[in-house]
Amino acid sequence: MKIKIALAGNPNSGKTTLFNALTGSNQFVGNWPGVTVEKKEGRLKKHDNVVIVDLPGIYSLSPYTLEEVVARSFLIQERPDAILNIVDGTNLERNLYLTTQLTELGIPVVVAINMMDVVEKNGDKIRIEALSEALGCKVVEISALRGKGVMEAAEAAVQAASAERTVPMHRFSGAVEHAIAHIEEVAVHGLPEEQQRWYAIKIFERDDKVLGQLGLSETDRAHIAKDIEAAEKELDDDAESIITNERYVYIGSIIHQCYKKKSSGSLTVSDKIDKVVTNRFLALPIFAVIMVIVYYISVTTVGTIATDWANDGVFGDGWHLFGIGSGEYDDAMTEYAKETIWTDEVVSTVQTAKDAGVVGADEVLGSIEDEDFGAFDEAYGSYADALAEDGFDISETVDAAMEEAPDPAAYGVWIPGIPVLVENGLDVIGCADWLKGLILDGIVGGVGAVLGFVPQMLILFIFLAFLESCGYMARIAFVMDRIFRKFGLSGKSFIPMLIGSGCGVPGIMASRTIENERDRRMTIMTTTFIPCGAKLPIIALIATALFGGAWWVAPSAYFLGVAAIVISGIMLKKTKMFAGDPAPFVMELPAYHWPTVGNILRSMWERGWSFIKKAGTIILLSSIVIWAGSCFGMVDGQFVFDAEMELEASLLGMLGNAICWIFAPLGFGNIKAAIATIMGLVAKEEVVGVFGVLDFEGMTQLAAYAFLVFNLLCAPCFAAIGAIRREMNSAKWTWFAIGYQCVFAYGAALVVYQLGMLFTGSGNVIGSIAAFIVLAFVVYMLVRPYKESQTLREKVRVQ
């Protein structure tokens, strides 16, 4: 017989870590029936008949957020065999509030006190036996992070599943108990005995969902209302507040008996760290520095080294195993370049280009003067188009010389790349030219261009997982709430932003924690402004190809997203659709701790694997479509197929040519950039995939940054748009969100490019006027007073 155990606890209590420790790889992820909140289930290790259900992190069983509704519905309707309640031992009083509600459900409960290693380190003591007696259920000590006591806790829950129900040990004050007794007699006497008390308490709190579920008659409701009103009158408070206060009085008595805090005036390590990282003046600069370091390592240094190896080696010509022979090959190429590539004519051309201020000419010339072929190859690859566009084309000399260049496979231990292996295999079987083109240029070229950036993404995900697991990101949410609230926003909007840095879909879904419908819609509309993992390849491509790997490009993209969210929030709050007080924000700040390597790697792999799966499905199909669109077209009035077809004559080129004028004011009104932008709606990674299939067409640095701005801020991929549709539950609001995102992105890119052109001395009058109009409108919306504030001032005058 299958045993079902529900894992319940507060957010940041270590519930997910415990779930992973108990289930390992035996996990199944889906959605709760009727809603799209993620549902996790897993088989308990070494127990095929025991299923662990991971409930959403909640603070209570009151139906205020969707997570609480989902958790409560499961516990009440599904009625698991036992509940394993994980409690943060460093914040016992707050966590026990949920425990008191769980013990009233009539379901066997086992309480697992987590972070006991931290409790002991702090010198605090929890009397487990006394706590067990006070709660009326078994209590065990665990450290989910270290894996200590986790299986013992699960075994206790399995044993409890076959035992009798947990009986709540606490009783409320006389007036409340009198009312509850009357409610049980009138309204719930027909329910199973173990469920009657919980329902009676909820009726006392005037819980609409319970009242609707029971379908009480008007007579019974009126009778019950008198008992509730009598208790409210006697205790001089509303019913819900009375129950809350009564619970905390009971919890206070438990804490007094069972918890002894070390009597020391000194601050804990977490408190000392928080005095710095949550400081009113230092918090944001510290956060900025941390994110700059994260992106610098992920995109500019370590991540770039790994990605270069993936792009040039695994998905390129190949690589020298462990670098064996690479030094000799570099020396050979440098000597060869001196004789055949770096001719007096080439050097003179590049020198003239440098004197004329052509972008990238100084990097190319510097590599020649340093006699560094590796640096020359990188600089020339990045700036060849820029040199050619300004009349300093050296490609004919370079390309002709490279045809006779030394073969890297002749030096050391050479491992051929995937394209080379695939091409050799296709040649052996005599593959048709069109199929060979599809496989090499369409599939391997398109998907490989995207997968080549996986190393950068994995490194970024490792850093994000560490910051989240150690407790720092919870502090940033607290800091951002303090800032957001000054602009009429809620810190709860920052939680989806944190989650959205991995993928926009769960970030959008995380907006369900916001009770205020207006704030929730606004958060859904703006969450995807934050760069997700799929946008990282775009950032890396622009930073590498157009900015020579400049360190500031990637961090600026992240802070651009944050700024877009803040600016949008301020502007939208001043409209009638989104006006109102921000949603309250309550969040536990867990003690700082070192996360385990296993948990960090698991988080990194979960995010990375979802990206890789997308590359094997959506991006694969998109790459095939792009290749086919570039090979089919009209030539001399006839529809033909030609793998070497000019892009302008192809179907893809016709589409790009029809829409590229839209992006001309933004600086990237060419066919390839237009196609890449449209394909980005399918999957943001496909922006890179397009250039992998069609080759990268050079842009100026300013146009490239405007291209980056637009693609970071415009409507997200189809999957995220689908999530917006589900969360909005309205086609009208979905289209409004998409429209707002695209218009905001267009305006931001316009301002960046047109005003940037003014600084370079080549501005366009009409474009500059349009940019100033956009900028003036944004400034006006930012400084415009809130309507609520005006109304409040008018009321004050009247009084």
Q: What is the DSSP letter of 786?
A: P
Does the pLDDT at position 789 exceed 50? no
Collapsing DSSP to helix, strand or coil, 63 comes out as: coil
Q: Is 480 exposed, middle or buried (CB count within 10 Å of its CB: 0-12, 13-18, 19+)?
A: buried
Through-space distance between the first and last CA atoms of the chain, rounded to whole angstroms: 70
Highest mean pLDDT, choosing among 228-237, 546-555, 786-795: 228-237
- CA dist., res. 543 & res. 295, Å (int): 12
Nearest to 444 by CA among 619, 595, 629: 619
- Can you give the pLDDT at residue 549? 76
- 52's enclosing H/E stretch is strand 50-54
- CA dist., res. 577 & res. 730, Å (int): 15
Residue 10 and residue 93 in contact, taking contact as beta carbons nearer than 8 Å: no
Highest mean pLDDT, choosing among 199-213, 291-305, 404-418, 508-522: 404-418
Q: Mean per-residue pLDDT for 109-136?
A: 88
Residue 686 and residue 622 in contact, taking contact as beta carbons nearer than 8 Å: yes
- Can you give the pLDDT at residue 737? 93
Collapsing DSSP to helix, strand or coil, 523 comes out as: helix
Q: Within 10 A of 20 (CB to CB), how many other CB atoms are there?
A: 20
Confidence bin at 501 (pLDDT 50/70/90): confident
Alpha carbon dihedral 499, 503, 508, 513, in 10-degree steps, equals -20
Q: Is 714 exposed, middle or buried (CB count within 10 Å of its CB: 0-12, 13-18, 19+)?
A: buried
Joined tokens for residue 453: 């950036």
- CA dist., res. 205 & res. 238, Å (int): 9
- CA dist., res. 84 & res. 112, Å (int): 7
Residues with Cβ within 8 Å of residue 712, at least 6 apart in sequence? 529, 531, 535, 538, 539, 557, 560, 561, 745
Q: Mean per-residue pLDDT for 44-50?
A: 88
Q: Within 10 A of 386 (CB to CB), how many other CB atoms are there?
A: 20
Collapsing DSSP to helix, strand or coil, 143 comes out as: strand
- CA dist., res. 84 & res. 566, Å (int): 40
The dihedrals phi and psi of 21, each to the nearest 5 degrees, come to -65, -35
- CA dist., res. 543 & res. 553, Å (int): 6
- Can you give the pLDDT at residue 795? 42
Overall pTM > 0.85: no
* Per-residue CA distances from 139 to 43, 114, 117, 166, 438 (Å): 22, 11, 16, 12, 62
Of 512 and 760, the structure prediction assigns the larger pLDDT to 760
Angle at 468 between CA 464 and CA 472, to 5 degrees: 110
Q: Give strand pairing partners of 148.
A: 143
- Can you give the pLDDT at residue 798? 41
Domains plus CATH for the chain?
Answer: 3-161 (3.40.50.300), 174-260 (1.10.287.1770), 321-415 (no CATH), 457-588+595-783 (no CATH)
pLDDT above 70 coverage of the chain, percent: 92
- 83's enclosing H/E stretch is strand 82-88
State pLDDT tens for residues 190-241: 888 888 888 898 889 888 888 888 888 888 888 888 888 898 888 888 888 8
